[in-house]
Structure 1
Amino acid sequence: MKKILITGALGQIGSELTMNMRKIYGNDNVIASSRRRQENEVVESGPFEIVDVTNPQHLVDAVKKHKPDTIINLAAILSANGENNPSAAWNINMNGLYNILEVARENQCAVCTPSSIAVFGPSTPKDNTPQDTLMRPTTMYGVTKVAGELLCDYYFKKFNVDTRGVRFPGLISNVALPGGGTTDYAVHIYYEALKNKKYTCFLQKGTYMDMMYMPDALDAIINLMEADPTKLVHRNAFNVTAMSFDPEGIAAEIKKHIPEFTIDYNVNQDIQNIADSWPNSLDDSEAREQWGWNPKYDLTAMTKDMLDTLSKKLNIQY
């Protein structure tokens, strides 16, 4: 990668990935884009374009103007929000991806589109879920991610577009708040632990899901896109994970630092149903073998870093 266009650059992943990539590749070589402009560090520190991925001309204009060799497509509607508005989820997640692949084909750009553990469904093996397995998702978000994996594979095989992607688990960030996903509790719990010493969880006890700290997620995107393409077999669907825990597990880790912290439960059944359809844990051995995936953070290290960072951000001692 030498010059990169990032769509959805003001979202949870994009806001951090843009700044991280600008440090690596130079401010002028990482073009941020979003449907709306916000006055923040991402917009002010380098090139920014208004790009609605459902508008093909927006993409054409941005690519012709900046001539990127790589497009990182982060424009998406996530799982919980997608169930509230499935038509919008399909439009942005699928039609937007098609538009990106078309402009990439015409301009010889590589494309990275993250997939998700949402591609799996109730009939998928729950524990140590294999790289290649049954995928029958029960959410619109999951449907779009399965279709997106297949569409990216098609563009690679049919048109030789260099498409790559990972199946992200829940992502935990100390910078941007999450945007309507099933795993959002694992971010909110740290804020509430510092602010109120208690948290009411919308998932029930014993709900295991794979998770990853954002610094590892950023490394996953960059390392995959910089990997030797001849070694990549599962180009658009690499399982990646760093940890798997349930609400009690993350609460217990927080209590090591904030002993008075308590957790209770008020289950949102719609979100619980989504969580129940996803794996408890993933097998990411193919990513480790093919491009050297190796996360740096486990639950213990992440919790310490989250609490330290957020305590400074919120000006709350713990």
Structure 2
Amino acid sequence: MKAKVLVIGANGQLGSVLVKELQHRHGLDNVVASDINKSHNFHGAFEVLDATDKTQLLEVVESYGITQIYHLAAILSAKGEANPLTTWDLNMKMLFNVLEVARVQEMDKVFFPSSIAVFGEDAPWVNTPNKAYLNPATVYGMSKAAGEQWAQYYFLRYGLDVRSLRYPGVIGYQSLPGGGTTDYAVEIFHKAVLEEEFVCFLNEDTTLPMIFMDDAIRATMELMEAPKRDIKIRTAYNLAGSSFSPEDIVREIRKFYPDFMVKYEPDFRQDIAAKWPKSINDDEAALDWGWKPEYDLEIIVSTMIEKLKEQYVPQQ
């Protein structure tokens, strides 16, 4: 039986790429993209969906015979701090609606993305293990930490196959980021290719875990396609790509653009980043379902510049 997949939050940085990969794997007619706003970036079915409306979500699920949900919609870390109570309400209500609808409909699988934002100052900053203590410093991180526990609860209580990854900062050329603390690592490439000055909201030596979009998508698919017996962690798996700082990226970019100018003007996002790990231990993901990243900083930089030049520079 073919899977029928619903992606919630398809317009986002991750969703816009993941939908296309799911269509490639499952077939165009078996993937339904959805978001709170209409999008013309997708072929195939698209539904305008407010995931805080459980009745509307159930109608979409029943209409298409959905068997899997990838729930990507959330208010992210930096944006979330502007309206903390709203962030908590929206993030948790959407998750509860997804879990309940999936439970009632006896779905095959649910994907819930977590984040390194679940870690706080009490977690080791270097090589942070999967079982590190979680004391997040942002409402976004709190909602993800709570969501991990609810994912595990629905698996243990109801047998719902919920799977999750703790994404580091995701770097991709396919779209602009959506309000996270690691957004600088995408914006900086756009400025470099346009040969404009970049103003960085983090200190130059702030090292954070990052992952290239292609690796993030591949990890997601590998996790979701792994046999159920291999998924040993039902909160969320740590996921790592490559850790680096703004000055590390600038050094690599200047191999292509020697005159690239950067100013450092740290804001409230520096305080958030200072409480996050510098590097992540993802040994459990490697052991349980064979995860291994392919992109290091050098390859990320060269690929980002190549792809963005294709977007910005008219082809001769």
Work out whether the TM-score is over 0.5. yes
Shift of residue 92, structure 1, vs aligned partner? 2.2
What does the per-residue CA deviation read over 1:220-267, in whole Å, with 9 as the maximum and x for residues that have no partner? 111101001111111331000110000100111111111222322111
Which ranges in structure 1 are unaligned for 5 or more consecutive residues?
none
Give 1:257's aligned residue.
256
* C-alpha distance in 2 between matches for 1:246 and 1:275: 11
Between the aligned residues of both structures, percent identity stands at 42
AA aligned opposite 1:313: Q
Structure 1 range deviating more: 159-168 or 61-70: 61-70
Q: 1:292 aligns with which of 277, 290, 293?
A: 290
Q: Distance in 2 between matches of 1:238 and 1:142?
A: 15
For 1:309, the equivalent position in structure 2 comes to: 307
User: Which residue of the partner structure matches residue 13 of structure 1?
Assistant: 14
Provide the C-alpha distance between the structure 2 equivalents of 1:47 and 1:240, rounded to a whole number of angstroms: 30
CA distance in 1, matches of 2:204, 2:309: 27
Alpha-carbon distance, 1:9 to partner: 0.6
Question: Does structure 2 conserve the Cα–Cα contact (< 8 Å) formed by 1:197 and 1:260?
Answer: no
Equivalence map 1:20-35=2 (5 Å): 20-35=21-36
2:217 is matched with which residue? 218
Q: Which amino acid aligns with 1:26?
A: G
1:65 equivalenced with 2:63 (yes/no): yes
State the SS of the aligned residue for 2:170. Answer: strand
Please give the alpha-carbon distance, in whole angstroms, between the structure 1 residues aligned to 2:204 and 2:310: 30
CA distance in 2, matches of 1:33, 1:135: 31
Give matches, 1:1-318, under 5 Å: 2-38=3-39, 40-42=40-42, 45-109=43-107, 110-268=109-267, 270-315=268-313
Give, in angstroms, the shift of residue 89 of structure 1.
Answer: 1.3
Does the Cα contact within 8 Å between 1:123 and 1:134 map onto a contact in 2?
yes
CA distance in 1, matches of 2:199, 2:306: 22
Which whole-Å CA distance do the structure 2 matches of 1:139 and 1:223 have between them?
29
Q: By how many angstroms is 1:277 displaced? A: 0.8
Partner of 2:79: helix, strand, or coil? helix
1:200 counterpart SS class: strand
Offset, 1:180: 0.4
Q: Give distance in 2, aligned partners of 1:288 and 1:144.
A: 26
Matched letter for residue 35 of structure 2: S
Counterpart-to-counterpart distance in 2, 1:293 and 1:59: 32
CA shift for structure 1 position 21? 1.2
Query: Partners in 1 of 2:162 and 2:307 — Cα distance?
Result: 35
AA paired with 2:152?
A: D
In the TM superposition, residue 69 of structure 1 has moved relative to its aligned partner by 1.4
Mapped contact 1:81–1:180 kept (Cα < 8 A): yes
Q: CA deviation at 1:86?
A: 1.3
Shift of 1:197: 4.6
Cα distance in structure 2, aligned partners of 1:115 and 1:204:
25
C-alpha separation between the residues in 2 aligned to 1:296 and 1:3?
29
Structure 2: which amino acid aligns with 1:69? Answer: T
Shift in Å at residue 88 of structure 1? 2.3
TM-score (structure 2 length as normaliser)? 0.97
**Stretches (4+) displaced over 6 A:** none
RMSD: 1.2
Contact 1:156-1:163 within 8 A present in 2 as well: yes
Task: Report SS of the residue matched to 1:84.
Answer: coil
